[in-house]
């Protein structure tokens, strides 16, 4: 009788162990008092990627969802290598007025991307070989169809000053989530290095990831639509928008579960000014400590263009300084001063 009891206990123990492994549950979860991972179910809402003219709307049915299992926090502190023979950015000598035509001399790092000859996205030159842009601009596309140009503020009829490059490769953040656009960041490696001069310069990256930019007036630039439903702008444009606090962003019309710590909002809750379709991948800039503009955000998504309660949402560049350092293959960045 005692032998039979022992056998039954062993069988029960083996069954418990096997069920734990079969369900891929952490071993501690066999103990009913252990804490299990929290699973959040999110339903995408109707959003615009600020990408291209005819394919921006993310539509979804009530059956669409994505699962987020306790996403890890990103806490990079390492910075990319620094060059000693160049300076990034351009000094801000004139007042920026929202919604006006921009001169490429103000933003000599601004990059335009075409796909099969049609404007597709914006980006920022951050080294002689690399362009910073949004992951959703690249995911699912073939790099052979892309061309990158800089040194010109026009989309269609480019000047002789325009510099063109092909794409050698690109790196999309491995944790990019195409549903909620978390980690919407990517790096393009050009087929040839770009010569830096007064006409073309690299953008400045943030020098301190701990800075709180809330309340700062930032500048969004791009060739996106000037009105919702309108055409892509033929010339580079700029708009000034305030960086909102997390609390203000929570008051916007987006689902609170959609925004992650790798995003922030900039714009006006009442509407008025905003980035728009076609601006995806372009930079959001603030004035840095050396009076040079620096990139704090990458234009990611929004709902419509300048709609009340729907400010633009941007990838938080300060969260990715270590990732950039790892992905730039030891290529140096130009500092804001030498």
| Residues with active-site annotation | 136, 184, 280
Residue 175 and residue 162 in contact, taking contact as beta carbons nearer than 8 Å: no
Q: What is the three-state SS of 7-44?
A: HHHHHHHHHHHHHHHHCCCCHHHHCCCCCCCCEEEECC
Would you state the torsion angle of the CA atoms of residues 311, 308, 276, 234, taken in this order, to the nearest 10 degrees? -130
Nearest to 136 by CA among 184, 168, 180, 179: 184
Identify whether the C-beta of residue 155 lies closer than 8 Å to the C-beta of residue 147. Answer: no
- DSSP for 87-113, please give it: --S-B--S---TTEE--TTT-TTEEEE
| C-alpha torsion angle, residues 157, 55, 146, 161 (rounded to 10) | 20
Distance in angstroms (rounded) separating the CA atoms of residues 38 and 68 = 8
**137-150 burial, b for 16+ CB within 10 Å, e for fewer?**
bbeeeeeeebebbb
Q: What are 109's two structure tokens? A: 């790092």
The CA–CA distances, whole Å, from 223 to 100, 135, 274, 280 equal: 12, 18, 13, 9
CB proximity list for 32: less than 8 A, separation 6 or greater: none
Task: Give the end-to-end CA distance of the chain in Å, rounded to a whole number.
Answer: 85
């Amino acid at each position: 009788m005692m032998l039979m009891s022992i056998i039954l206990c062993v069988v029960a123990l083996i069954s418990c162990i096997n069920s734990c492994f079969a369900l891929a549950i952490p071993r501690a979860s066999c103990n009913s008092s252990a804490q299990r991972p929290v699973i959040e179910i999110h339903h995408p809402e109707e959003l615009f990627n600020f990408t291209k003219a005819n394919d921006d709307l993310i539509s979804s049915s009530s059956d669409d969802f994505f699962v987020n299992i306790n996403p890890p926090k990103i806490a990079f502190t390492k910075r990319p290598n620094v060059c000693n023979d160049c300076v990034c950015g351009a000094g801000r000598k004139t007042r920026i007025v929202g919604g006006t035509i921009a001169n490429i001399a103000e933003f000599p790092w601004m990059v335009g991307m075409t796909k099969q000859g049609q404007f597709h996205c914006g980006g920022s030159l951050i080294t002689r070989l690399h362009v910073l842009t949004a992951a959703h601009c690249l995911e699912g596309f073939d790099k052979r169809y892309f061309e990158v140009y800089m040194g010109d503020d026009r989309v269609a009829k480019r000047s002789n000053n325009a510099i063109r490059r092909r794409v050698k490769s690109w790196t999309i953040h491995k944790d990019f989530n195409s549903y909620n656009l978390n980690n919407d960041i990517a790096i393009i490696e050009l087929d040839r290095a770009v010569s830096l001069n007064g006409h073309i310069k690299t953008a400045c990256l943030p020098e301190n990831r701990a800075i709180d930019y809330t309340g700062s007036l930032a500048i969004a630039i791009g060739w996106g639509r000037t009105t919702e439903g309108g055409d892509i702008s033929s010339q580079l444009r700029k708009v000034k928008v305030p960086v909102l606090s997390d609390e203000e962003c929570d008051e916007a019309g987006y689902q609170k579960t959609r925004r992650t710590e790798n995003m922030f909002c900039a714009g006006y809750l009442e509407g008025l000014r905003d980035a728009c379709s076609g601006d995806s991948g372009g930079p959001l800039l603030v004035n840095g400590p050396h009076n040079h503009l620096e990139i704090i955000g990458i234009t990611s998504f929004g709902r419509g263009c300048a709609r009340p309660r729907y400010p633009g949402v941007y990838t938080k560049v300060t969260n990715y300084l270590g990732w950039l350092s790892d992905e730039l293959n030891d290529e140096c960045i130009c500092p804001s001063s030498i």
